[in-house]
Structure 1
Amino acid sequence: MLLLPLLALAAYLFCFLSFFLDGQAQVLLKQRQVSVTKGHKTTTSVDCIAEDIPDFQSAYIHWYRQVPSKAPEWILYIGPGAVSYNDNSYSNKYSSLKEGTNICTFTISDINSSDEGTYYCVFGSGTKLIVSGKWYVVRSSPPANSEILQKKHENQIIYVCLIEKFYPEVIRVTWTDDEKEVTDNVVKGDTWQSTKEDEYSIASWLTVPAENKDKKYYCKYEHEEEKASLPTQGIFYMLKMQFDVLL
């Protein structure tokens, strides 16, 4: 399992992006999936969405794999109609293709435990592959419960987004207002495992000025194929005892 220092990796891989795409620093590559859970002997695909590449079919898109305590390993790149591999034996395991004007797909075949890791297209946020211990079984479950709790403290309002009982533990949590993502005064806690095996929970905090009490914020999460958005309006206030326990 992997919690990656994304800033260091982003800086490392950004050098490759600048070189291979002729210094087009405005190019953005995004990966939609935060994690994918698959069983042994199965096949999975991860997509990478490119923005602002004028001639996408001629561009070089690189794929890397990161495992704990090791440097990112370059697997392949796909250029104008051809794929080049770091090792020729990789052609039996990995493949890549471009679709339309902005989607590059990376496929891993005949999955086994050694394939577990985080896969990146250049400096994307990464998609984590989790291999299930059961043969031919995909073992994942979306959050069983999610809610926003509220606490007013002096001239501030603190919202706590609580997301419970999901597997695998990889989840993306963000806060937004009606227009854009909110990053100031946001704290994301680490996932914790409940008493039941393979159930995880997470909490994220947003602090806003008290005068924003009528403004609507949203806690959004992405987990495997599940996406949800929870509004702050219409929520229940937290009891002080509950709040102290959470913090």
Structure 2
Amino acid sequence: MTVNAGESLWEKNPLHLKSFSNCLQLKAWARDFLPHNTAEKQWGAQVLLKQSRPSVTVSGSSASMACQVSAKTIVHWYKQHPGEPPKRILYVSGQSPVFDDSSDTWRFQVRQHPTESLYALTIDYLTPRDSGTYYCAYCGYYNKVFGSGTKLIVSGKLHSRPANFEILQKEHKNQIMYVCLIEKFYPDVIRVTWTDKGNKIVEGDNIVKGDAWKPTKEDKYSISSWLTVPAEKKDENYYCNYEHETGKESVTKQGI
């Protein structure tokens, strides 16, 4: 098979790619058979993966999690247990998934959105052994790139949104510390970020994020994050944001 410069490898013959079991084999084939610079274009461009739900808590017989992809590519799905490396379940090239273990074919399905680059992994006949973190991934030019992951929790306990969400502040000498407090949520998987008034994520050594913790006699979690800024920036707006499987919210330090 030949692919002309500027032509999409995936559109040319996506089903042909099922014969490649890993990224190294696929890229080795590309170096040998694609025209000059085409392989670099196919794998050099950055593909963004977005797994919007940090966790999924279910007590029923099936669960689904999605991965949004910014460009056409082969999508891999991995499962990871705590303390173990991720293990690939399948990959999708064309319309049908290719499984690493044939015994998974009757429980795992991947559905692609007809008009969007969105891949939904569905697991049927759930058992507690299916609990773990599931990652979508693609082959970058030099390595495999993973999404942020979605933790699947198979449990009889229902999820619950945070009962309290606020920013506290304390001024000390020439600095101001903002403490974002998020209390009483389940499960413990939550993403916390700080943004400025332009909705730009604030990063650096001036941010400290604690681990989720649970009081001894409670079954819900709390977490806090600290942002420290110079006192001369006290009139600037900063926002604390969280993403939980129950939804997203933001709060500003204004009005405190």
The percent identity for this pair of structures is 52
Contact 1:165 1:194 in 2 (8 A): no
Under a length normalisation based on structure 1, what TM-score does the superposition of the two structures give? 0.81
Give yes or no for the alignment of 1:126 onto 2:141: no
**Aligned counterpart, 2:202:** 182
| Greater Rg over alpha carbons, structure | 2
Q: Deviations over 1:41-69 (max 9, x none)?
A: 42111111111x1xx2xx21000000012
Which secondary structure state, in structure 1, belongs to the residue aligned with residue 105 of structure 2?
Answer: helix
Q: Give the number of aligned pairs.
A: 211
Which secondary structure state, in structure 2, belongs to the residue aligned with residue 203 of structure 1?
Answer: strand
Give yes or no for the alignment of 1:34 onto 2:54: yes
Under a length normalisation based on structure 2, what TM-score does the superposition of the two structures give? 0.78
**Aligned counterpart, 2:33:** none
Deviation at 1:16, TM superposition (A): 4.7
Structure 1 residues 24 and 43 mapped into 2: Cα distance closer, same or farther (>3 Å)? farther
| Uncovered stretches (5+) of structure 2, i.e. residues with no partner | 1-21, 28-38, 138-145
Give yes or no for the alignment of 1:110 onto 2:98: no
Which secondary structure state, in structure 1, belongs to the residue aligned with residue 104 of structure 2?
Answer: helix
The one-letter code of the counterpart of 2:110 is: S
**Aligned counterpart, 2:79:** 65
The alignment yields a C-alpha RMSD, in angstroms, of 2.0
Give yes or no for the alignment of 1:151 onto 2:174: no
Aligned runs of 1:136-147 on 2, under 5 Å?
Answer: 139-147=158-166
Contact 2:159 2:246 in 1 (8 A): no
| Uncovered stretches (5+) of structure 1, i.e. residues with no partner | 1-14, 236-247
Which secondary structure state, in structure 1, belongs to the residue aligned with residue 161 of structure 2?
Answer: coil
Deviation at 1:154, TM superposition (A): 1.3
Deviation at 1:24, TM superposition (A): 3.2
Contact 2:160 2:246 in 1 (8 A): no
Contact 2:79 2:134 in 1 (8 A): yes
Deviation at 1:197, TM superposition (A): 3.0
